[in-house]
Chains A and B, each alone.
Chain A
């Protein structure tokens, strides 16, 4: 069943359909929130909030856009609300701080995919550090593109920005990553 069919089934009273939607999208949404917030507890709270929005009001998704677009719009807005409540803009380190493990430590799959396996621990830490040094705007666009898999046009819609701005932020993020990784190797 498509996402829209599953949502319609849930709206008609099939709670199992929501379970299927959760299975399909939980890794992407949670991964995005974890990277954005840098904290497992915050990511889990926001994650629940995102899906409970659909539970409390199934008609909240009106099928005017892709379900995934809607989902990440809700997730992004919930994350921004979280940062406002915290009085920050999500500029938290992605690596562990004190007793708090960082996202680098939250890899669930014991056997990473072939791409991830090619990145050794040291390289992974360098990249994670470089991602942490991106500006909040760059980081937001970068993670949204990676985790949602949506097109830049759709991401521009989620962020309420012109597509040129989104691409410019991504380009600056890529340039920043390159510079950071070069510095680390020098």
Chain B
């Protein structure tokens, strides 16, 4: 009789869904009603509960095993950062070198190029400055031109010693 129920019950998989909380409203109600009339399903439910209780005891790996994983993770992250920084430095260096190379190339351009510091304007200014300098050189200097405020002080200090 008991084995007949096992053969014909047909609630095996539904019981599994019910036990693991995956039987929705209608199915759950049907299973609950069935369990009330089926000793085999009641016994299976009890077996599942007992197994789940045994398996619920917490088991953890040795701390050294976990630490081994974390060590590898820290090393991987560190390697990644170092690789990333080197790439950025390389790019910056390359960019700077390009700018400097460009500036150097530009500095070696022929004198005929139309650049502000090589234009006729500067040559004109040079002539003006030179002529002023010549005038100053030809004019004799007077004592008033050199206003040494400290000369008297120096004489005073010297004579005081």
Contact = CB atoms under 8 A, between A and B. Distances in A.
Given A55-B69, A152-B17, A152-B20, A131 B51 contact: yes
B6 A175 contact: yes
B36 interface: no
A53 to B, nearest CB: 10
B28 interface: no
Query: What bracket does the count of chain A residues touching chain B fall in?
Result: 35 or more
Contact of A48 (B46, B48, B68): B68
A15 B47 contact: no
A127 interface: yes
A103 interface: yes
B59 A177 contact: no
Interface in B53-78: 53-62, 65-66, 68-70, 72-74, 76-77
A167 B13 contact: yes
Given A55-B69, A55-B76, A119-B54, A171 B61 contact: no
B95 interface: no
B13 A177 contact: no
Interface residues of B, number: 39
B145 interface: no
Given A10-B73, A26-B61, A47-B61, A127 B51 contact: yes
Nearest to A109: B58
The majority secondary structure among interface residues of chain A is helix
A26 B66 contact: yes
A175 B57 CA distance: 23
B17 A174 contact: no
Main secondary structure of the interface of B (DSSP, over half): helix
A182 B56 CA distance: 22
Contact of B16 (A18, A44, A171, A182): A171
B86 to A, nearest CB: 15
Contacts of A171: 12-13, 15-16
A142 to B, nearest CB: 8
B50 A103 contact: no
Given A145-B20, A174-B47, A55 B13 contact: no
Interface in B12-62: 12-13, 15-17, 20, 22, 40, 43-44, 46-48, 50-62
- The 4 A-B pairs with the shortest beta carbon distances in the complex, nearest first, are A171-B12, A115-B53, A177-B47, A167-B13
Interface of A: 10, 13-15, 18-19, 22, 26-27, 30-31, 34-35, 43-44, 47-48, 51-52, 55-56, 103, 106-109, 112-113, 115-116, 118-119, 123-124, 127-128, 130-131, 142-143, 145-147, 151-152, 164, 167-168, 170-172, 174-175, 177-178, 181-182
